[in-house]
Amino acid sequence: MKINRFGAVFQIAILLGSFTLLAQETTSQKQVSNYNYRDAFAPFFYTKNGTATRSASGQPGAEYWQNRADYKLTAVLSEKTNEITATDVITYTNNSTDAMSFLWLNLDQNLFREDSRGEAIVPVMGSRNGRQGQIFDGGHKIKSVKITKIDNKKINEVEAKYIISDTRMQLFLPEELKSKGGKVEFKIEFSYISPNEGSDRTGVLETKNGKIFTIAQWYPRMCVYDDIKGWNVNPYLGASEFYLEYGDFDISITAPSNHVVVCSGELTNPNEVFSAEELKKYNEAKVSENTVMIRSLEGVLAAKNNSTASKTWKFKLLNARDVSWASSAAFILDGARINLPSGKKSLALSVYPEESAGKEAWGRSTEYVKNSIENYSKRWFEYTYPVATNVAGNEGGMEYPGIVFCSWKSKGKRLWGVTDHEFGHNWFPMIVGSNERLFGWMDEGFNTFINTLSDIDFNNGEYKDEKEDMHESGASYTDPELEPVMTSPDNMKEAHIGDLCYSKPSAGLVILREQVLGPERFDLAFRTYIKRWAFKHPAPDDFFRTMENVGGEDLSWFWRGWFQNNWKFDQGVNAIKYVKNDPSKGVFITIENFEKLPMPVVLDIKFKSGKVDRVKLPVEIWQKNVEWTFKHNSTEEIESITLDPDHVFPDSNEENNIWTAAKGLVEKAIIADEYLGVYSNSRVPYKITVTEKNTFLNVDIPDYATFTVEPIGENMFESKRTGLKFKFKEDKSGFDLIVGEDRTIPFTKVK
């Protein structure tokens, strides 16, 4: 349908001998806010379309591929020297569409070399990362690298050519590895000395009954080759974590005979390593709802000096991206059954020293493990590993598939919190295998979010926190000094990582769940994301697209402001205006978005009688407005208006959130009646009709449009949309139509 929007006004101008109508030259209202809806709701948030490997809907594409790494690992622990001597047999499967002449591996222990890049960037005041001041001969010692099979054909074991660059090894293949299923097997012999405190992720803790070894990043691991970057070879600098391929693990660990060894996988030879009594209790724990003591303090003390011989503990782990383990003569061991939604069972275990024992401390660890795993399995996706082991070590808290390291000092609520957080990581990134090195928020932030719900669920809220006050947090989360959430942890100030990788993305998901999508839609979308990308490698766009497609909303305004940028949020109440200056007839309330981030609106209107009405407005009011006025059908005078009364949005400025009758602006309404009528000009073949609609003046120009005008002065009205102004005479017998800057057309009321 053709709309002749400007024809009548042009004809009016022509009849007056002027062709100077430039509605587009109207003076724009001066912005008192930093908000720009063109930025917030800009198109093309996604910079690329869906591909054959990654669908535009956020799911893996029809031709999605992923490479695979299977490991056969053996390790021998020297308690005296803290050295691990090991072999690493890797079978690497190239499912990509590219042939390969070389491979890349991670040598993460090289972070602890004196000349590593990570050590070079540790500030003089110290850091959580790196060697933490320890002087020792750190790093992987590669003794040999041999290719043993290509495409399942054995070849003569010959030393392979390789180059080591900081924490990476480039391994050159004797012949090209085929695409779409080519396999190569190679064997690495290596050793290293464990750091005492290795970037708070691995270490050695001295206790009165022996050392506790928490062993991680210990074997050469394959870098990921994916459809986004090819080889992902960012060095391990300490702050950013890991990005690893999935596969099966066969692990054998030889330790002193008085040690208990726990590992990511299922223990396959318990009858060879446990005493008869320990084996009995171990089997009891597998079927018990309550914690069963498997190795008591008495057992620890009895075996304390029996360390001359050794035992080999064997484990198996399927479809995982990593494996870690712990070993100590000091370990007390207990366990209980984990019940999974499908009817399958898993086993919760805890190991800790005498110093950590007691019901106020690690004596409840297995209870915490069991509850955490069962809760997340019911709420999001079923736990996939045969065991979940909590280890008391000198790490603050660190996660691996099926095993976590938590501080031996933690007790009560703190122990629950760190246990629940670290086991939450078995969903992010152990099941959903995102790239932690680039996008720390996709595991730490998501995990912190699911922790907010499990805290409520555990033991009738025993350790439940108060809801976060986002007014208090908002200023911190949007501090101009912060980098955007999408930044790699390696590019963040260390002091910012807690906010940017953990708290801020978690708070964002809480807002989406509780204020934008609602729990039902959010939970469905979030579960779908986990299911789609379980044991795969999602990128940020895959998450964003899944949440939008399943949740049924365009959330680009939110991703852009909260994740991609570090935009502030500030809404305020500007003024009210009673309809016809009579509170019994309703009220117009004007609010404004003062900063760059938009959000939905929640406000409480409190009346003189004490009654409170809650009003909710969608984020769409800010799609094309900086300021917004809405009518509320009230019947009495207002005492106060409070924006975001529950503090659920990150408002960085509370001062403009509350309007009160005592101090707030009450605008006077224009009484429209005397302006209404039909107006004409003898030289113009049109009559202009002024009517009232919803207490506003509406102007109707034939063959043009009907539009609303707003008061801008005494007897003066303006339509910003058309650029026309109407200056009424004092006696309301007519008006001057002002076109452009200085063209006026007089109209007289005819009825």
DSSP string, 147-163: EEEETTEEEEEEEPPEE
Q: Which two tokens stand for residue 697?
A: 């003046």
Fill in the amino acid letter for 629: T
Q: Residue 496 — φ and ψ, nearest 5°? A: -90, -15
DSSP label at 28? P
What CA–CA distance (Å, rounded) separates 522 from 452? Answer: 15
pLDDT for the residue numbered 13: 47
Pair of tokens at residue 399: 């996660």
The answer to whether residues 345 and 286 touch, using CB atoms and an 8 Å cutoff, is yes
Task: Please name the residues in contact with 726: beta carbons below 8 A apart, sequence gap of 6 or more.
Answer: 699, 709, 716, 717, 718, 735, 736, 737, 738
C-alpha closest to that of 315 among 390, 264, 244: 264
Number of DSSP helices (H) and strands (E) in the chain, helices first: 15, 40
Residue environment code for 274-304, b if the CB has 16+ CB neighbours within 10 A, otherwise e = beeebeebbeebbebeebbbbbbeebbeebe
535 with 431: CB under 8 angstroms?
Answer: yes
Token pair for 438: 């680039």
Alpha helices, DSSP H, located in 410-518: 412-424, 444-457, 470-477, 497, 504-511
For the chain, domains (ranges, CATH) are: 65-245 (2.60.40), 276-306+327-431 (3.30.2010.30), 571-667 (2.60.40.10), 673-749 (2.40.128.50)
The 8-class DSSP code of residue 89 comes to E
Phi-psi region of 374 (alpha: psi -120 to 50; beta: other; left: phi over 0): alpha
CA 328 to chain centre: 36
pLDDT at 82: 98
Q: Find the DSSP H helices in 88-190.
A: 117-120
The pair of three-digit structure tokens given for residue 360, joined into one six-digit string: 């106020």
pLDDT at 155: 80
> d(Cα 158, Cα 146) in Å, to the nearest integer?
5
The Cα–Cα gap between 355 and 206 comes to 11
pLDDT for res 64: 98
Instruction: Report the alpha-carbon distance of residue 216 to residue 325 in Å, rounded.
Output: 7
CB within 8 Å of 263: residues ≥ 6 apart: 251, 253, 313, 315, 317, 323, 324, 325, 326, 389, 402, 403
How far the first Cα of the chain sits from its last, in Å, is 33
pLDDT of the residue at 306? 75
Token pair, residue 660, equals: 């009160």
In this structure, what DSSP letter does residue 564 have? Answer: I
Half-sphere exposure of residue 115: CA atoms within 13 angstroms, side-chain side: 3
Name the stretches of the chain with pLDDT < 50.
1-31
> Of the candidates 325, 327, 397, which has an alpha carbon nearest to the alpha carbon of residue 368?
397
CB distance 577 to 587 below 8 Å: yes
d(CA 583, CA 633): 10
- DSSP per residue over 302-317, as a string? HTTT--SSEEEEEEEE
Cα–Cα distance for residue pair 548/312, rounded to 1 Å: 50
Spell out where 329-395 has E strands.
Answer: 332-339, 345-352, 387-393
pLDDT at 133: 86
What region, left, alpha or beta, does residue 715 occupy, with left being phi > 0 and alpha being psi -120 to 50 degrees?
Answer: left
What is the per-residue pLDDT for 295?
A: 98
Contacts for 157 with CB less than 8 Å, ≥ 6 apart: 146, 147, 148, 187
